[in-house]
Amino acid sequence: MTSDTYDIVIIGGGTAALVLATRLSEDARVQVVVIECGEDRKDDPQILTPGLWPLLSGSPSDWAFRTVPQKELGNKELQFPQGRVLGGSSAINSFLFTPTSRASIDAWAKLGNKGWGFETFNEALKKAYTFHRSPGNTVGNGPIQLAVHKSEPENTWSKAWIDSLDTLGFPSSDPFSGTVCGPFENPESVDPKRKQRSFSANAYLEPALNRANLTVLTNSTVTRILLKKTGPEDVIADGVQITTSDGLSRAITARKEVILAAGAINSPRLLELSGIGDADLLQRLGIEVMVENPHVGENLQNHVYTGVVFDARDDEKTLDPYFRQEPNAGKAAAEAYAHGTGPLGSSSIVASAQLPFPGIQTDKGQQDLDQLLQSLDIEADLQRSPRTSASFAAANASVIRSILSSPTEASANYVFGPSALDGSPGNHITVAVMLSHPLSKGSVHITSASPEYLTGNGGLEIDPRYLSHPLDLEVLARHVQFTEQAIGRAEPLARRLKPRTELFGDLEQAKQYVRLTAEGSHHYTGTCAMMSRDMGGVVDDELRVYGCANLRICDASIIPIASRANTQAVVYGIAEMGAQIVKRNI
C-alpha cells in the first residue's frame, strides 16, 4: 500500500467537486487532490455535442442506478441516472440552467442555517456563470457559459408558448430574478462560441489543471473514509482508502480536511460504509459504528413529473422527424449545428414556465386549495416518512402552505418541446409538468458492506417513495388538468394544434394518469441534509458532518428541502458557497 498526503482530499469529481477543487487550489499553498471513480471524458464529442445528451443515460458515464418498485406508481422500478465521469451529472444532464427561487433558498435559512439566505446564495451563484443574453450583452463573469439556444424550426414554438401563457395572466419572466412566475426561454449551459456543453470539467477544472498544487485521480474508487476515534461520539478523518483501476489499494492522507462531494446517492453510501449512519444498519452489516446518525441516507427527495402530448397540425414544423431519426432531418440537424443552431446544439426543450397552484388567483381556486389543505394533515403525513422529525415536518409543511397559497410562487415547473420524443408518427408538442416542491421523502441505504459494489450500482437500496405523501398527487394532477384545459386552449398555441378529446375533465382521471405515467426527474437531493442534528440533519451550516470536525459534505445531498426546477444551478451555487466556507476555515 502506497501513501500520499494532501491538505484537502475531495471525494468525487462531479459538478460540485470540481468547483471546490478549482476554487481551493487558487491558493498555491493548499495541496488539493480530487478522486473520481469514472473516466476523464471532457474531450469526448458525445458529451460535448449538446443534442446527444439523451444517449448518455445508461452509458458508461452513468452510474445507472435504479429504484426499488414504487408502490404508488404501479410497482414500477425507475431509472435513477447520475454522472459517473469527470464532471459528474453536469456531463450527462440536459443542461438547463434554472436558478431557483428566493423562497426556496430562504426556506433553508429558516431551518436555522445561518448564512444561507437568498442574497448570500445568489451572490455565490453569480460567480459560477456568464450568461450571453445576446451578442455583446453578457451578465456575470463565471466559468460556466450560458445562452438561449434555438433548436426548433423557424424558432416559433417558444414564442407561441410565451404568448399563450401571457394570455392566461402569466407574462414572460426572468429566470434569474428569484421571483419568477411565468414562462421563459431556457438558458442552457452550452458555450455559444464553441457550441459545446459547458460543464464543471471543461469550464472550471480544465483551466486549473496546470496548477502544481492540484492533483486529479480518475478511475480511482474511494472505498472508505479513514476515521479515527477522538471521543465517545467524535472522530476525525485522517484521509481515504482508494482502489485504483489496476486493483491496487492506496491510502490518501488529509492534513486538514476531507470533503465528500459524491452526490445524493454516493455521499450517504460512503458515510455508511465508513461507519457513519444508523447503528442498527451498520452493525447488521458488520461495520464498526464510528458516529451514530440515523438520518444519513434519509430525506431523499426528487421532482416527480409527467407529460401531456398534444397533436400538432399536419402543416406545422416540429422536431419529430429528428427524433424519429429520419435521414433528411439528421442531415439538416448537422448542417444547422455547423451554424450553432438546430437540435444538435440544444436540449430541444425550448421553453419553460414556473406556475402557481392552478386557479389560486380566483375565489374558486382559493376555495379548492383551502378544502384540499383542510382535508389533509400535511405534518402528520410527513412524519409517516421514516425518521422525519416533528420539528422538520412542521417547518416543511409551513413552507409548502406558503408556496401553494401564493399567486406568485410556483408549485410546478413546466418544460416545453415541439416533439413527442418517443418516435411517434405525426407532429406533436410535449408539455412536461414537474412538481416543484415534493413532500414525499424516501431513502438510500447500503445493503452490503462489500467494497466491490462501489464501482457500480449494486449493494444499494434506493427508494424515493414517489407520491407517498398525498398532497403531491393532488397538486400534480391539478397542474395536468391546467395543461390540458388552459394551456392547450390558449392562443396562439391552440390554433397550431389539432382538436383534442378531453382526457382530464375529472380530477380522478388526472390522478390516475399521473399514477400510470409519472417518472422521477434527475434532481436528487436531501440525503445528508443541512439542518440541526435533532431536526434530522447530517451536516451543520458550515457543511461539517456531525461528529467529525474535519469532514464536510458539499453537493446536492445537503439540500434539506428540495428547491424548485432543475438542480444544476443550485449545485453550482452550493459549491461556490462551500468553497468560501472552506477557505475561511483552513
Quickly count: other Cβ atoms within 10 Å of residue 435's Cβ: 28
Q: What are the CA-CA distances from residue 350 to residues 19, 128, 148, 160 (Å)? A: 28, 23, 9, 11
CB 344 within 8 A of CB 556: no
One-letter amino acid of 453? Y
Q: Is 85 annotated as a binding residue?
A: yes
Tabulate helix, strand, coil % of the chain (nearest 5).
35, 25, 40
Cell (9 digits) for 559: 439540500
Residue 318 φ then ψ, to 5°? -130, 180
Report yes or no: 411 and 475 within 8 Å, Cβ to Cβ: yes
SS3 for 181-247, per residue? Answer: CEEEECEECEECCCCEECCHHHHHHHHHCCCCCEEEECCCEEEEEEEEEEECCEEEEEEEEEECCCC
Helices (H), 274-353: 279-284, 320-323, 327-338
Half-sphere exposure of 440 (CA within 13 A, CB side): 25
The Cα 298–Cα 443 span in angstroms is 4
Report in angstroms the alpha-carbon separations of 577 from 198, 262, 573, 583: 20, 17, 6, 10
Residue 342 in contact with residue 336, Cβ under 8 Å?
Answer: yes
Measured in degrees and rounded to the nearest 5, phi and psi for residue 343 equal -65, -20
The annotation places the binding site for FAD at 85, 222
The annotation places the binding site at 85, 222
